[in-house]
Amino acid sequence: MMKRIRIVFKKEVRDLIRDRRTLYSLVVLPLLIYPIFIGGIQKVISRIVMREATTVVDVGIVGKTHAPKLWGYLQAEPLLRWIEVEDTIAPIEDKEVEAIIKIPEGFEVQLDKGVTSEVKIFYTNTRFKSQAAAGRVKDVLDRYRKDYVNKVLQVKGVDTKVLEPFDIIKQDITPKKRAGMFVLGMMVPYVFIIMMMVGATHTATDITAGEKERGTLETILTAPLTRTELLLGKWLSVLVFALVTGILAVIGLVVAIKFRLTPMGNIPGTEQMGFYISPGAAGLILVLVVPLATFLASLLITVSIIAKSYREAQTYASIIMMVVIFPAMVSMLPIDLTLRPKIAAIPILNFVLAMKQLIMGEFELHGILMTFGFLCMWAMIMFILAYNVFRREEVLFRL
């Protein structure tokens, strides 16, 4: 039996490897997508941000005659080009200016009397340039307000240090090594799950619905194989490609962060980061991967063999991918979930949380064991479902 399963497995792997596009998408792309693609995106974004930071922005002003001193201060700002307007809404909507400030009548008179006044900044949240312009204007007004307060205190003979009698310093006690593992704990589970799905989806749809569409599945069924042996051979090929794709994507991500090619690589602590994970934690991750990969492979084989065409199988797989993405994203969210029984029972989510905890070295063994138990349960249920579907003639022969 094992010999025949191995023959089916080798046949499927050989057919997939022969297709260069498959080899590139399942092996080369996962390894290079983060160092090249995301690194390139970061460079483009950095250039855009730097360019915007040095670009002169048009800003409207209403009531400049109400505050001659403030108006002189504003004109000294080199990155703001002031345009006198009458309305506070239309010029922004018409993109004549990115933001507008309105100075009330008698502004400086009220300041001299010690009466609190206000300057309004108008902008729109629908344009990034408008938000940035409003931020620049607020910074200038903050500096003017601080300078005004300092001058008033100096005139009254009061030390300006009274405004800031002490400094507040935030001290992060997290070791650099642990900060790096926090970054990996956020990114690696998500990347691993998604790229495993990519590898499993392509393989499962090709060796099931693809073979049905090409008419080669009927030929295989004439061989001296049981349905169980055929299923196990195909299931193993999906399992292997899913694991290879996921592992290569994680390697690419770690390399990208290590050499600071991603936005995450700019987080303090990542400059000296490596895979500082204990052998025990790494072993537990591998143990959890087996039932998870079994679950995903069985699920994708089931929906792919039910499909009557390759395109239909891809549609089903895309829906599954969308469902998988949401629990996989939990590792990247700023929330702390523990592996309680209700959480540990949810596939994908339980693995993501367990893997994150293991990478960070902050895990409880009973939570990991619960996760493993539930993953095994779901893997068994899905494999039995795939086995029963594979035995149905009307499914295999598109009846």
Number of neighbouring beta carbons within 10 Å of residue 77: 18
Length of the chain: 399
Which of the two residues, 260 and 121, has the higher pLDDT score? 121
Percent helix, strand and coil across the chain, each to the nearest 5:
70, 5, 25
Rounded to a whole number of angstroms, the distance between the first and last alpha carbons of the chain is: 29
List the structure tokens of 194: 């998604």
Number of neighbouring beta carbons within 10 Å of residue 89: 11
Kindly list the domain boundaries of the chain, sorted by start residue: 2-39+175-396, 56-163
Judged by average pLDDT, the poorest of 89-98, 264-273, 378-387 is 264-273
Distance, in Å, from the CA atom of 155 to the CA atom of 312, rounded to the nearest integer, reads 79
Going from the C-alpha of 159 to that of each of 144, 163, 302, the distances in angstroms are 18, 8, 77
Residue 157, phi-psi category: left (phi > 0), alpha (psi -120 to 50), beta (remainder): left
**CATH fold group of domain 56-163:** abc type-2 transporter like fold (3.40.1710)
| CA angle in degrees (0–180, nearest 5) for 128-133-87 | 105
Q: For CA atoms 154, 156, 162, 163, give the dihedral sign.
A: negative
Distance, in Å, from the CA atom of 184 to the CA atom of 254, rounded to the nearest integer, reads 8
Which residue intervals of 62-161 are DSSP H helices?
A: 68-75, 90-93, 107-112, 128-155
Which of the two residues, 351 and 172, has the higher pLDDT score? 351
Distance, in Å, from the CA atom of 389 to the CA atom of 193, rounded to the nearest integer, reads 25
Distance, in Å, from the CA atom of 334 to the CA atom of 143, rounded to the nearest integer, reads 33
Which of the two residues, 89 and 274, has the higher pLDDT score? 89
Residue-level pLDDT at 38: 60
In the block, which residue shows the tokens 């990208």? 256
Beta-strand ranges (E) seen in the chain are 57-62, 80-84, 99-102, 120-122
Going from the C-alpha of 289 to that of each of 65, 85, 182, 238, the distances in angstroms are 70, 63, 20, 14
Distance, in Å, from the CA atom of 23 to the CA atom of 16, rounded to the nearest integer, reads 7
List the structure tokens of 345: 């029972």
Distance, in Å, from the CA atom of 139 to the CA atom of 130, rounded to the nearest integer, reads 14
> Is the pTM value of this prediction over 0.85?
no
- Average pLDDT over every residue of 282-303: 88
Instruction: Note the pLDDT tens digit of each residue in 157-212.
Output: 887 777 777 888 888 776 666 666 777 777 778 888 888 888 888 888 888 888 88
Distance, in Å, from the CA atom of 179 to the CA atom of 170, rounded to the nearest integer, reads 16
Q: Residue 55 carries which DSSP code? A: S
Instruction: Note the pLDDT tens digit of each residue in 133-169.
Output: 999 999 999 999 998 888 888 888 887 777 777 888 8
Q: Residue 208 carries which DSSP code? A: I
Distance, in Å, from the CA atom of 225 to the CA atom of 364, rounded to the nearest integer, reads 45
Quick one: which of 361, 388, 351, 25 has its CA closest to 228?
388
List the structure tokens of 87: 């309305």
Return the percentage of the chain with pLDDT > 70, whole number: 85
Q: How confident is the model at residue 399 (pLDDT cuts 50, 70, 90)?
A: low
Q: How confident is the model at residue 90 (pLDDT cuts 50, 70, 90)?
A: very high
List the structure tokens of 41: 């995106």
Quick one: which of 271, 275, 265 has its CA closest to 359?
275
Quick one: which of 208, 397, 218, 391 has its CA closest to 304?
208
Quick one: which of 112, 110, 98 has its CA closest to 56?
98
